Amino acid sequence: MKEKVMQLNQIHSRHHVFWVFIIVHFSLLLFSAFSADIPPRKILNGEKKKSRKVELHMEDNRVFIDNGLVEVTIENPSGHLSGITYKGMLNVLETRNNNNNKGYWDIVWDNEAYDKLATQHVKIITETDELVELSFTKMWDITKDHGNSVPLNVDKRYIVRRGVPGLYMYGILERQEDFPDAHMYQIRIAFKLKEDKFHFMAISDTKQRIMPSQEDRDESRSQVLAFKEAVLLTNPTNPQLKGEVDDKYQYSSENKDNKVHGWISDDDAVGFWVITPSNEFRTCGPHKQDLTSHVGPTALSMFVSTHYTGTEMDVLYKKGETWKKVLGPVFMYLNSASWDEARHYRKALWNDANRQLREEIQSWPYNFTASEDFPHAQQRGEVNGQLLVRDQSLDKQLMQAKSAFVGLAAPGYAGSWQTEGKGYQFWTQTGNTGRFTIKNVRPGEYNFYAWVYGFIGNYKLNLKITIQPGNKINLGTLIYDPPRNGPTLWEIGIPDRTAAEFFIPEPNPTFVNSILNHDADEFRQYGLWDRYSDIYRDGGLVFTVGVSNYSKDWFFAHVPRRIGNETRATTWQIKYELQEVNKAGNYTLQLALAAASYAEVQVRINNPDANLPHFTTERIGYDNAVPRHGIHGLYRLYSINVPGNRFQRGNNTIFLTQTRCHDSFEAVMYDYIRFEGPAV
């Protein structure tokens, strides 16, 4: 009996050693998976697996669309997106919010009223194994809705496709002739993601980081700075963020770059991405800046806004004018990563989102949408040609317009596209020889516009272009004659429509956002306008032609100077020497502005105390680029003629005074300044 007990103990001992070995070995494997340098993980987005058919389930107050990868829940009949189930996450949207505050459209219209475009009816547009498309609609009724909701007919579309982990959304908005006047300042789709899950935001290859929470912006955890959007984190829930600034405008992007952005849930290794494969339905051209993602966690798809343009953008819709526009489709893409490669999942998710973006761009215009208001590829047209530049002061030969921005937009004047807010726009860049092809243009009437890097002004072809389904229009060789009255005597900056080449100071170390610690984003740091007063304590900027360097000696924004609690107008000086003066000739000061906000620039020649300036812009601009951390707003060009008798042989000075100084944000940014001699 004793021997049997000893044998059993030995067996148990061997089993114990065996299981200890297994546990230790498995632990080492886990440690290795989480600590070793390993290649990026494979994204498990379900596309490679055999996909389920798309199923639709409708209830009295909810609609479900399920393709086995995502299940989408939409409130019936309001059309508000109330749930997206993906992987192990029952809802990626914030479940504590009301259904009209999870995934929703909204419009800011007259008197800054908000309308979340709640609809009244739902209709099945397409229901097959491959795809479900739903339509949520509301027809505006003047007897019921006047003064209560934006005068607009609304059709919100949702599409879920087989084998695709995400959701397509687009809207068809329409105004009839008898609808009353209305301003529509902002149109967007907003997504409020789960606050306890999505903490990591990615906007570009460089702008990525763990973000503050919404709670961190409360007054108990932060200090409001010069305006409500900007806060200094004083006691954030994540101690590593203490002392940083957060402001949603620091994460803005130009339309041409705003293609994919979103959030990652570290707990689940899940990404939520807003993908915009085309800018045709956005406003004001490729350089219009707008919001992307920001603290919330919030992800936005912006269609219309007055950000960085102000009310110079055309946002008034008048009674008697009909209007209809398709906004989107945009794609809400979800992806996930396996846990065996934890060190790399963020990069892998971001790279996969960009891969998906490329696929969506290749598929544009989509061929699976059912609305007749969204033309497919065969229903669109194409425009091609070549753009050359003629500036004989630089080159006697025609020059190729390399990397010029060329586009089609609503008929208007040269440059009108940057404030055009109602129609469609189609833009591309020329190649090295100035050749271009603008593809997939919707039928309609357009003008052809362009601007060329390194040259001032705007180009417009004085020909109305009518696009019909399937046609291809060859414009031939076009020649742009940029504004010029004489040879260049001196110049400051680069004609690129931004102030990026000028001196951008280091931020006050008290007000830093670490996500912007890259040269390309340095202008978005908070409080740079105040650095002007720190640098130029005793007087305004003085720039000496031939001695000064504009990248070091020309401040990026002409702002008021702060003296104590006051802000005062500032005068900048440009000093230069003329060897000879043609008293009978006319000289030209080409003054190109990259931004202006409630500003006025006065120009004086050789006499800073003259009662009347030689030239004034008068009060201009609403783009608010300085406090919203932009490096440009709207482009303006002034060709200022100056008689030769205003100059003298030897030393001369041009005085630029920005007269408005009610606050630090009444300012201009210069794009480029050129002084031309009399025509030869």
Indicate which CATH number applies to the domain containing 497. Answer: 2.60.120.260
Position 254 in a domain: yes
pLDDT at 21: 40
| CB atoms inside a 10 Å sphere around CB 73 | 23
Which tens digit of pLDDT belongs to each residue from 352-382?
999 999 999 999 999 999 999 999 999 999 9
Above 50 in pLDDT, residue 264?
A: yes
Let me know: does 527 contact 665? Beta carbons within 8 Å: no
pLDDT at 88: 86
Statement to judge: residues 296 and 181 lie in one domain:
yes
CATH of the domain at 251: 2.70.98
Is residue 122 one of the residues assigned to a domain?
A: yes
Contact between 56 and 65 (Cβ < 8 Å): yes
Over residues 397-409, the pLDDT tens digits come to: 999 999 999 999 9
Count of structural domains, the chain:
3
Nearest to 43 by CA among 361, 354, 345: 345
Scored b (16 or more CB within 10 A) or e, 205-224 reads eebbbebbbeebbeeebbee
At residue 611, the pLDDT reads 95
End-to-end CA distance of the chain: 121
Contact 131, 54 (CB under 8 A): yes
pLDDT greater than 60 at residue 7: no
Residue 30 has pLDDT above 70, yes or no: no
pLDDT given at position 147: 87
Residue 642 shares a structural domain with residue 525: yes
What pLDDT does residue 342 have?
58
Radius of gyration, CA atoms only, the chain: 29
Domain boundary among 454, 480, 506: 480
In a domain, 20, yes or no: no
The verdict on 164 and 247 lying in the same domain is: yes
- Only one residue has tokens 């669109």, namely 380
Say how many C-beta atoms besides its own lie within 10 A of residue 196's C-beta.
12
pLDDT tens-digit series, residues 586-640: 999 999 999 999 999 999 999 999 999 999 999 999 999 999 999 999 999 999 9
Burial of 143 (0-12, 13-18, 19+ CB in 10 A): exposed
* Within-domain flag for 617: yes
pLDDT at 34: 33
| pLDDT, tens digit (0-9, with 9 covering 90-100), for 147-196 | 899 999 999 999 999 999 999 999 999 999 999 999 999 999 999 999 99
pLDDT classification of 42: cutoffs 50, 70, 90: very low
Name the token pair of 19: 């299981």
Write down the pLDDT at residue 444.
98
* 3-state DSSP assignment of residue 321: coil
- Asked whether residue 118 falls in the same domain as residue 244, the answer is yes
Say which CATH number the domain at 403 has: 2.60.40.1120
| Whether 278 and 144 share a structural domain | yes
Evaluate whether residue 196 is within a structural domain. Answer: yes
Residue 238: pLDDT band with limits 50, 70, 90: very high
Handedness of CA 213, 214, 219, 224 (dihedral sign): positive
- What is the predicted pLDDT for the residue at 344? 85
Whether 169 contacts 236, CB under 8 Å: no
Q: According to the model, what pLDDT value does residue 6 have?
A: 40
pLDDT of residue 51: 82
Kindly tell me if the per-residue pLDDT of 1 is higher than 90: no
Mean pLDDT of 415-426: 98
pLDDT at 43 > cutoff 60: no
Q: Is residue 588 part of a domain?
A: yes
Banded model confidence at residue 338, pLDDT cuts 50, 70, 90: confident
Q: What's the pLDDT score for residue 343?
A: 66
One domain, residues 504 and 456: no
Are the C-beta atoms of residues 596 and 658 closer than 8 Å to each other? no
Q: Is residue 581 part of a domain?
A: yes
Altogether, the residues listed in the chain come to a count of: 680
Residue 34 resides in a domain: no
pLDDT for residue 340 is more than 80: no
* pLDDT category of residue 20 using cuts at 50, 70 and 90: very low
Position 680 scores a pLDDT of 79
The answer to whether 642 and 676 have CB atoms below 8 angstroms apart is: no
Span 101-133, pLDDT tens digits: 999 999 999 988 999 999 999 999 999 999 999
Write down which residue in 423, 451, 480 finishes a domain. Answer: 480
- Structural contact between residues 511 and 527, judged by C-beta atoms closer than 8 angstroms: yes
Dump pLDDT digits (tens) for 545-563.
999 999 999 999 999 999 9
CA distance 441 to 280: 9
What pLDDT score does 565 carry?
Answer: 87
Q: What is the pLDDT of residue 339?
A: 62
Output the CA torsion sign for 412, 415, 416, 422: positive
pLDDT of res. 9: 43
* Average pLDDT, rounded, for the chain: 92
Q: What is the pLDDT of residue 38?
A: 29
Per-residue pLDDT at 649: 97
For 658, the 3-state DSSP assignment is strand
* Whether the predicted pLDDT of 320 surpasses 50: yes
Do 245 and 324 sit in the same domain of this protein? yes
Residues 632 and 550 in one domain: yes
DSSP for 155-169, please give it.
EEEEEEETT-SEEEE
* Residue closest to 301 by CA, chosen among 191, 192, 427, 198: 191
Does residue 550 share a domain with residue 418?
no
Of the residues 330, 363, 396, which one is the last residue of a structural domain?
363
Tokens standing for residue 578: 């003329």
Instruction: Give the percent of the chain with pLDDT over 70.
Output: 92
329-341: average pLDDT: 87
Q: What are phi and psi of 289, to 5 degrees?
A: -95, 150
Whether residues 617 and 539 fall in one domain: yes
Question: pTM value?
Answer: 0.91
Same domain for 436 and 574, yes or no, is: no
- Both 536 and 667 in one domain: the answer is yes
Kindly indicate the confidence band of residue 3, based on its pLDDT and cuts at 50, 70 and 90.
very low
Question: Residue 423: which domain range?
Answer: 377-480
Please tell me the predicted confidence (pLDDT) of residue 12: 42
Residue 15 region, left (φ>0) first, then alpha (ψ -120 to 50), else beta?
Answer: alpha
